[in-house]
Structure formats: C-alpha cells, structure tokens
Amino acid sequence: MRRTTITLLAACLLTFGAVGCSKSSDDKAKDCSAALTDRTGADSADKPTVSEAKKRVDALDKTLAAMVRSNYESVANNAFDRLDKKTRAGGKDRPVACKSLSEDDYTALLAAKAINGLGWTDKDGQFDKLKMVDSLGG
C-alpha cells in the first residue's frame, strides 16, 4: 500500500510540476522573437506573439497587393525584395528558442521581426506603410 501511494504521489508531482513549468505559446513566441532580434536588426523590445506577427505580415501583404493594383508594382517588388533579403539573412539556422514552434508560426515571427528590422513598424509594433514607402525612397 505504501509503495503504491508513493508511486502515485510521485506521478502526480511530476504531472503537475511539468504543467506548471511549461511555457505558454505566447511565452515561446516571445522567446523566439528575442532570439531573432540580432539576426533581423529588429528592436529588442519588439516581441510579438504569433497572432501579432501574423497580423503584421497580413497588413504588409494587403499593402503590397493594393500597391500592385494601383500600378505601383515596382515599389511593391522592391519592398518584397528587401523583406525577402532580410528574412533570408535572419532565418539561416532556426534558433534553439524557436525549435518548438511550427514552421508557419516561426515563419510569421521571422517575417514580423524582419519588418521591424527594416523600420516598417510604428511605436506599437503595427506595420506602418508610410514608413515602408519612406524607406524605399518613394
């Protein structure tokens, strides 16, 4: 009886201890964001969650699509090329802090950090199309 109780107690402690020690997905994303800071030239305070990163990338995507529809295809291509170069430079080897993220989540965080590294975000971390256009000389 005593051995069973000790085994059960140990199993419970391990189970609850593991749950208590595991990080949330937002914490994992913030750790990954921090690890990508030097690689992307981004602000160290910029630590978006995955959902924030996806919103930033989506805003850029919509802006580039609107530019193409408005006959500013060369400016949109230039922006895309700059972001692609910055993202490739930052994503050569996935940092250890990013290993637990899915490929989609990692890609979104990497692109969001690269957008920040290019200076295309406002003080709240939102994509700012005017900053993007200004940086492109347009």
Give tens-digit pLDDT for 78-106: 999 999 999 988 777 899 999 999 999 99
Backbone angles phi, psi at 66, to 5 degrees: -65, -35
Tokens representing 90? 């930052």
Give tens-digit pLDDT for 10-19: 444 444 444 4
Longest Cα separation, the chain: 79
Q: What is the pTM of this model?
A: 0.81
Tokens representing 46? 């910029």
- In the chain, where the domains are located: 23-135
Give tens-digit pLDDT for 24-67: 888 999 999 999 999 999 999 999 999 999 999 999 999 999 99
| pLDDT greater at residue 8 or residue 30 | 30
